[in-house]
């Protein structure tokens, strides 16, 4: 077994040298081994955009190797690659962030894209489709809630039929997404109540909500029924979720498990060090 692994690595290294990258050979060799068996309490996912410099095939092979189930924020053109590696897309893309459901004039365009995403997710057997409130642009929180609820009620029945959950992402409006409306958990929860369907929930982004309101574990405990998906990220900076930042991610993961959370946790930090090493360390850290 040692000799086989070494030969595979050498062969991969030769190919990589021709292609100009040795990292891909290491990941390819790594992926030839049996996948790491995780504890099963947390379903691991990762946002593709944070690792766009790594070829998709190589990235999926590495994810499979370290016990990740999903590569997310993708569209149908990427699904065949996921399927070749035995992965899924736990959160399928739809419309953009700034131009969202809080303005009536955006409804037709956004709902058409959401419907297409629901169809794609349902056909592939994937659980969630992302959506966004959009920026305020002078709209009050109450008007934004009314407009978002009106739009979502038009599409959530279709999501129910297709067994797909729509998840609106909570983003910070302080540093990264100026003027974004769904920037507090309470606002998102109120929207969930107005829509009134188990097929609409929140994408609780820990990085963004730590910036806006903190109190992460207590918020999870209070509002777990409205959380359909979770994202990570180190604060400050949105980098590695290790000892360099202010959040205790193992404690947060344990709180999710204790609250009965069954969804995915998507790693969505921007690595400052070797990206694949950092990703594996994050998965190890969150595998409580």
What confidence tens digit (pLDDT) does each residue in 146-184 have? 999 999 999 999 999 999 999 999 999 999 999 999 999
Superfamily of domain 23-286: Divalent-metal-dependent TIM barrel enzymes (3.20.20.150)
Q: How far apart are CA 147 and CA 154, in angstroms?
A: 11
> What pLDDT is stored for residue 32 in this prediction?
52
Q: What is the mean pLDDT of residues 95-110?
A: 98
Position of tokens 């998102």? 188
User: Is pLDDT of 1 > 60?
Assistant: no
Count of residues making up the chain:
288
Please check the confidence at residue 187 and state whether its pLDDT lies above 70.
yes
133 close to 102: Cβ distance less than 8 angstroms: yes
Average of per-residue pLDDT values in the chain = 91
pLDDT digits (tens, 9 = 90+) for 129-144: 999 999 999 999 999 9
Which pLDDT band, with edges at 50, 70 and 90, does 67 fall under? Answer: very high
Smallest CA-to-CA distance from 180 within 215, 221, 132 is with 132
Q: Which of 136, 275, 269, 132 is nearest to 210 (CA)?
A: 269
Parallel, antiparallel, or unpaired: how do β-strands 227-231 and 264-267 relate?
parallel
Instruction: Note the pLDDT of residue 34.
Output: 81
| pLDDT computed for residue 85 by the predictor | 98
Does residue 253 have a pLDDT over 50? Answer: yes
**SS3 call for 217:** helix
- The per-residue pLDDT for range 15-40, each reduced to its tens digit, is 333 344 434 434 444 445 688 999 99
Q: Is 145 exposed, middle or buried (0-12, 13-18, 19+ CB in 10 A)?
A: buried
pLDDT band at 11 (very low <50, low <70, confident <90, very high): very low
Question: Which residues partner with 54 through β-bridges?
Answer: none
- Say what the pLDDT of residue 121 is: 98
Walk across the sheet containing 264-267 and list its strands.
70-72, 43-47, 264-267, 227-231, 200-205, 165-169, 128-131
Cα Rg of the chain, angstroms: 20
Helices assigned H by DSSP within the chain: 2-19, 23-31, 56-65, 79-84, 107-124, 141-162, 185-195, 206-212, 216-223, 249-258, 275-286
Mean predicted confidence (pLDDT) in 191-210: 98
Could you state, in order of their start, the residue ranges of all structural domains in the chain? 23-286
Which residues 6+ apart lie within 8 Å of 102 measured at CB? 133, 134, 135, 136, 139, 143, 144, 147, 148, 181
Q: What's the rounded mean pLDDT across residues 189-215?
A: 98
* pLDDT over threshold 90, residue 211: yes
């Amino acid at each position: 077994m040692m000799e086989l692994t070494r030969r595979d690595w050498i062969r991969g290294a030769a190919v990589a040298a021709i292609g100009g990258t040795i990292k891909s050979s290491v990941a390819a060799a790594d992926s030839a081994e049996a996948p790491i068996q995780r504890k099963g309490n947390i379903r691991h996912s990762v946002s593709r955009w944070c690792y766009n410099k790594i070829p998709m095939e190589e990235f999926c092979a590495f994810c499979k190797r370290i016990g990740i189930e999903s590569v997310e924020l993708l569209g149908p053109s990427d699904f065949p690659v996921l399927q070749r590696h035995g992965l899924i897309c736990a959160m399928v893309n739809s419309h953009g962030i700034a131009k969202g459901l809080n303005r009536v004039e955006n409804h037709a365009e956004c709902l058409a894209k959401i419907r297409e995403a629901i169809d794609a997710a349902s056909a592939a057997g994937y659980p969630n489709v992302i959506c966004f409130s959009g920026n305020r642009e002078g709209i009050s929180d109450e008007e934004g809630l009314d407009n978002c609820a009106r739009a979502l009620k038009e599409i959530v029945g279709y999501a129910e039929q297709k067994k797909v959950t729509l998840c609106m992402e909570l983003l910070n409006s302080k540093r990264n997404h100026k003027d974004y409306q769904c920037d507090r958990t309470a606002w998102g929860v109120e929207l969930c109540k107005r829509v009134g369907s188990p097929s609409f929930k929140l994408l609780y982004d820990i990085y963004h909500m730590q910036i806006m309101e903190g109190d992460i574990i207590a918020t999870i405990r209070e509002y777990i029924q409205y959380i359909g998906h979770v994202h990570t990220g180190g604060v400050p900076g949105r980098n590695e979720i290790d000892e360099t930042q202010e959040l205790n991610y193992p404690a947060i993961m344990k709180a999710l498990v204790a609250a009965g959370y069954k969804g995915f946790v998507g790693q969505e930090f921007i690595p400052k060090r070797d990206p694949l090493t950092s990703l594996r360390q994050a998965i190890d850290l969150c595998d409580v």
